[in-house]
Every structure is written in C-alpha cells, then in structure tokens.
A and B are shown apart, each in its own frame.
Chain A
Amino acid sequence: MTLNMGPQHPSTHGVLRVALELDGENVVACKPIIGYLHTGMEKQAEYKTYTQSIPQTDRMDYLSPMSNNLALCLAAEKLLGVTVPERVQAIRVLLTELTRISAHCVWLGTHAIDIGALTVFWYCFREREKVLSIYDMVCGARMTASYFRVGGLAMDIPDGFLERCDKFVNEMPGHIDEYESLLTKNPIWLARTKGVAPISAADAIAWGVTGPSLRGSGVHWDLRKAEPYSGYEHYDFDVPLGKDGDAYDRFQVRVAEMRQSTRIARQAIDSVRKLGARGEYRLRDFKYVLPPKEEVKTSMEALIHHFKIVAHGFFPPVGEAYQAIEAPKGELGFYFVSDGSARPWRMKVRSPSFVNLQALPVMVQGKLVADVIAAIGSIDIVLGEIDR
C-alpha cells in the first residue's frame, strides 16, 4: 500500500510529504517529497544587496534566525576579508547560543508531542518565550530578528540586556533538569526512541548528515571546534556524543548540547561585560558598514558614507567565498559569488535540514510506520530551510 504522510500532517513539522510504500505496518520504501514551501530565496538574493538578504534568512530556519543571520554575515565578511571586533563576536556568540537553546526547546517539545508526551511541550515553550523576549529586547522582533549586519550589529545591546541573559542562563540548567525528569528515564519515551531509526556513523557521513544527528552516531564533528569562527576557540565547552545513532542518542546529544550552550553563553556574557556593556558594535570601516547615527548628524563624511551604503550597498571584490557555521541543526553555510557589484551574483545556501532529511529513508527502511514519526522528529527539520 502507498501512504502519503503529509504535506498537511502535524507530525511532519510543516509541509513535508513522505510517500511510504507499506507492507502492513512495515516500511518497504520511503521517499520524502519537498518543495511545498519553496520561495526562491537564492534567486531573490541575486536581486538584493547583501544586507537586504538578511531578513530573508530569518525565514529560512525560522526557529533560529540569529544563526542564519550569522552565517550570511560571516560569509559576506569572508568575501570582504574583514573581521569584526571582539565585542561583536562575543555578542554574536551569546545570541547564537541562546538561539540554539530555544531551537532545541522547540525541537524537544514538538518531538515529544509527536510521540505522545504532551506535557514537555508546555515546559519547553515557556523557556523559548524567554529567549524570544530577549530577542525582542535586543532588536524589537521576536522571531524575525535580522539583528546581525555585515561587519557588526544593527545596534548596540540595550541597558539591562546582560542582566536579563544572566537570569536566563542561571535558570536554564534547572529547566533542562525538568525536561530530563520527564523524559530521560521515562519507560514510554525509551520504548519509542531507544533503537528506533538508527543510522551508523559511516552512513551518516556518506549521506552528509551534520550537527547533532551526526554526533548522535558518535562522530566527533562540531564546526565550533573543528573550524572555529567568531572566536569560538576561546570558549571552553564539550562536544556531547552518542553511541548507537538512534533517536534516543540524538535526544541525549541535543539535551546535553543545551547544557553546553548555557556554559558558552555564560562565558560570552562575562566576555561582553569585560569588553564593556556599551561599546563598539560595528566595524569602523565605512566602505562596508553604516556609520553610527550620531556621527551622521555631525560629520559630512559619515553622512556621505551613510548615503552611499543605504543607496547602493557595499561592493565586495570579485571572487567567491563559502563559510559554514554550526547551526542548531547542523552545518549551515552560505556560498557567495561576487562579480564586484553590490548584489551577489550567486548565493547558495547549504542548509542542514535539506541534507539531513535525505538520510530519512536510510533510518526507516524496514521499520514500522510509527517509527517514521519518531525519526522525523529526531532529525529536527524545519521546512523553511529545506525548501528555501
């Protein structure tokens, strides 16, 4: 029998359609069908300046907008050959780690709901709300942040921001304990995830799986350690690993990652404090970056730079660059080809969900239909990023 799971099915996390060839309850073949949310972001980017593409990226993986912003900004900065000030790097690390926590909160809540544990969702969304209000505080938007800019940040962090983050980071480990007390030793949870949808390390690598899904199979690969960006080499944290590569291991890796993220966020807060609660938030290279508003009001040059950048954008050299970051879901990379104009000649997004979803058939081949639900939840996909 052929069964269409989705595209309108709550457990497919959006508009994923999975065509299943079934023999009774057994999956004979599985084919994910995507594209229902395709909005042509890569094409649109060719008609926009680099900065104008930043709001687009919020809508890709809409659960982790800051990570998407960071990936685009880092790729553009690599193309320009510039490095942002240390303080900006620390703020970016702080916000992307909070993003990782909130993205994992949504993943945990929805994954648990798919399997039938409804309570976890309310706990997870409570903490996600706190991260969203931190976003709100820093940039005025809860989900579509667009806070990072090429060469820095849109504006400086507001007063009381670090205290707010402090409070959140101090509370979070206790909340993670709460989640774990609901799930980690729960016999129903174990029965539904232990040994379900396994993928071996060799298969995971061959299928290009990255992020927590790869680490769940026991592969030590984290871009924050392997190819440190944005000053991650200065932070002290561990890379949690799984063993069997099943849904339970992926669950444990992500939960452990949330704990590590609070550790990194704590160090980042200290680092920002040390560098000043107010201070440099942009590169002072006005060929690429908007000058501060106060200077625009007093200095002629700043006004000219402001006008030029708002009217035309910046002009990177002819060339190309690919930069990847460890987004909550895996390796998120942007590839820019520049022809020297203010708009990218080509923007290619390497999105982790797109690649990780490809491994779904490997995970569920010969398993049961109910396992497909657990498998989709455990890969942690966002369709906005798959279809772009």
Chain B
Amino acid sequence: MLAPEHVEQRLREQFPGVAFERQTGEAVRDHTLYLPAEHLVEVCTFLRDDPESAFAMLSWMGGVDYLPRVPRFECVYSLLSLKHVARFTLKVRVPEEQPRVPTVTGVWPTANWHEREAYDFYGITFTGHPDLTRILLPEDWVGWPLRKDSPLGYEEVAFTHNTPGRMKPSPALKKLAPKKVRYRAQ
C-alpha cells in the first residue's frame, strides 16, 4: 500500500516550483491535491512513469461547477495505481471566463471520453484534445446542461398562447379541418 501522504511529499520534492495545495474540509474523504493547470501534464506524466507511484490508470476525470465561487469550475482527476494499490486525486481550478485546461489524453488515452463529457456538460475546453466534441448530448445542443445556472430540463411546449407567430392557423391547416356536418333534428 502506498500512502497518499507519501505521494504528496514526493510531488513537493520533485516539483518545488509548483504551488500544490492540499484540500481541507470537514468531510474530504480522499486525499486531494490542487495544482495550477499549467503544470497538470508534467505532474501527471511524472506520477504515471515514476516507479514509486506508478499511477498507470486514470480511473476517471470530471468537472464540477461551484457557482458562485471564483474560480467557478474544478476538474477532478482520480488516479489509480494498480502496482501499489493506491488512489490519488488531483484537482485543477478553472475560471469561468476562460475555461481552459490542458488535455491529459497524451498521458492516459482513457481521458479522451471523460474530457469530452466534461466539455459536453460544463463547456470546459481541453487544449490539445484530439476530438473535442459533444459526446452524450446531440451535437446541435445549445448550452452546458450541468452548469448550475442551466435549468433542469423544461423545454417549453408550443401552445397558441406562447407562440405569437402561430396565432392564426395557416391556410394549409384550414384545408385539413373537418367539414361542417349538419345534423338533422331528431
């Protein structure tokens, strides 16, 4: 077993110039380390290749929206070392104005779909990604559905009262209308 504290210490020794920051909180159950986005790729490459940590697998990555916090978004990377049976979580803060993070598809190819999902849900751009397109939503979808300011579903149904352009039935519809039937009085 590889203690996450050991990984953190090793990272601090290896990258003295990088401002790492341990996430603290009442119930942060996994050892989590913040780092600046520009160092993400080199740190990930080191963690993957360093035999003492050997995080050969990226378990998953995903975005989180912390509206109204500034910077607004975070990207979470959950690393997995099969060799040492350990997990380690890295986080990157992403500002709202320029939601850009360098891609880690070069380090772990599995990041491809996860990053596409984060782009799809939050509009976070991963620079250098080979195919950054929507993955779960239709490609013509407008907006970023998992952002906190995006409403839950609710697509307005077109009724006469909310669709001014359709107040008058079109002549084509008139043609289809049933003919008036005159009933004989009983």
Do A and B belong to a common assembly? Answer: yes
Assess whether B29 is in contact with A321, with CB atoms less than 8 Å apart.
Answer: yes
How far, in whole Å, are A318 and B26 apart by their CA atoms in the complex?
6
- Complex interface residues of chain B between 100 and 117 (CB less than 8 A to chain A): 108-110, 112-114
A245 at the A/B interface (Cβ < 8 Å)? no
* Nearest Cβ on chain A to B59's Cβ, whole angstroms: 6
Assess whether B82 is in contact with A205, with CB atoms less than 8 Å apart.
Answer: yes
Please give me the residue from chain B that is nearest to A203 by CB atom: B109
Please give me the residue from chain A that is nearest to B91 by CB atom: A320
Assess whether A205 is in contact with B56, with CB atoms less than 8 Å apart.
Answer: yes
Neighbouring B residues of A219 by C-beta, 8 Å:
82
Residues of B within 8 A of A (CB): 25-30, 32, 56-60, 62, 64-66, 76, 78, 82, 85, 87, 89, 108-110, 112-114, 121, 134-138, 145-146, 152-153
Contact of A333 with B85 at beta-carbon distance under 8 Å, contacts A355-B110, A355-B113, A358-B110 already known? no
Neighbouring B residues of A207 by C-beta, 8 Å:
109-110
Neighbouring B residues of A206 by C-beta, 8 Å:
56-57, 108-110
A9 at the A/B interface (Cβ < 8 Å)? no
Assess whether B27 is in contact with A38, with CB atoms less than 8 Å apart.
Answer: no
* Nearest Cβ on chain A to B156's Cβ, whole angstroms: 17
How far, in whole Å, are A227 and B153 apart by their CA atoms in the complex?
37
A142 at the A/B interface (Cβ < 8 Å)? no
Neighbouring A residues of B26 by C-beta, 8 Å:
317-319
Assess whether A79 is in contact with B27, with CB atoms less than 8 Å apart.
Answer: yes
B29 touches which of A34, A227, A319 (Cβ 8 Å): A319
How far, in whole Å, are A18 and B185 apart by their CA atoms in the complex?
64
Assess whether A226 is in contact with B145, with CB atoms less than 8 Å apart.
Answer: no
A266 at the A/B interface (Cβ < 8 Å)? no
Contact of A35 with B137 at beta-carbon distance under 8 Å, contacts A206-B108, A206-B110 already known? yes
Contact of A358 with B112 at beta-carbon distance under 8 Å, contacts A40-B145, A206-B56 already known? yes
* Nearest Cβ on chain B to A28's Cβ, whole angstroms: 17
Interface stretch, picked from A128-136, A303-311, A346-354, is: A346-354
* Nearest Cβ on chain A to B84's Cβ, whole angstroms: 10
Neighbouring A residues of B89 by C-beta, 8 Å:
322
A289 at the A/B interface (Cβ < 8 Å)? no
Contact of A35 with B60 at beta-carbon distance under 8 Å, contacts A221-B82, A335-B76, A358-B112 already known? no
How far, in whole Å, are A44 and B152 apart by their CA atoms in the complex?
7
How far, in whole Å, are A47 and B136 apart by their CA atoms in the complex?
20
A85 at the A/B interface (Cβ < 8 Å)? no
Neighbouring B residues of A221 by C-beta, 8 Å:
82
Assess whether B62 is in contact with A348, with CB atoms less than 8 Å apart.
Answer: yes
Assess whether A208 is in contact with B136, with CB atoms less than 8 Å apart.
Answer: no
Assess whether B30 is in contact with A321, with CB atoms less than 8 Å apart.
Answer: yes
Q: With contacts A318-B26, A345-B64 known, what are 6 further pairs, Cβ within 8 A?
A: A35-B137, A221-B82, A316-B27, A320-B28, A322-B78, A324-B59
* Nearest Cβ on chain B to A34's Cβ, whole angstroms: 7
Neighbouring A residues of B85 by C-beta, 8 Å:
226-227
How far, in whole Å, are A330 and B136 apart by their CA atoms in the complex?
21
- Complex interface residues of chain A between 272 and 320 (CB less than 8 A to chain B): 316-320
Assess whether B30 is in contact with A35, with CB atoms less than 8 Å apart.
Answer: no
Please give me the residue from chain A that is nearest to B117 by CB atom: A354
B59 touches which of A40, A42, A208, A354 (Cβ 8 Å): A208
A387 at the A/B interface (Cβ < 8 Å)? yes
Please give me the residue from chain A that is nearest to B23 by CB atom: A320
How far, in whole Å, are A46 and B65 apart by their CA atoms in the complex?
12
Neighbouring A residues of B82 by C-beta, 8 Å:
205, 219, 221, 226
Assess whether A208 is in contact with B145, with CB atoms less than 8 Å apart.
Answer: no
* Nearest Cβ on chain A to B186's Cβ, whole angstroms: 54
* Nearest Cβ on chain B to A65's Cβ, whole angstroms: 21
Assess whether B138 is in contact with A319, with CB atoms less than 8 Å apart.
Answer: no
How far, in whole Å, are A333 and B78 apart by their CA atoms in the complex?
11
Please give me the residue from chain A that is nearest to B62 by CB atom: A348
A208 touches which of B25, B32, B57, B62 (Cβ 8 Å): B57
Neighbouring A residues of B30 by C-beta, 8 Å:
320-322
* Nearest Cβ on chain A to B4's Cβ, whole angstroms: 13
* Nearest Cβ on chain A to B30's Cβ, whole angstroms: 6
Residue from A207, A318, A387 having most chain B Cβ neighbours under 10 A: A207
* Nearest Cβ on chain B to A7's Cβ, whole angstroms: 13
How far, in whole Å, are A6 and B166 apart by their CA atoms in the complex?
38
Please give me the residue from chain A that is nearest to B121 by CB atom: A42
Assess whether B152 is in contact with A208, with CB atoms less than 8 Å apart.
Answer: no
A355 touches which of B29, B60, B76, B146 (Cβ 8 Å): B60
A192 at the A/B interface (Cβ < 8 Å)? no
* Nearest Cβ on chain A to B103's Cβ, whole angstroms: 15
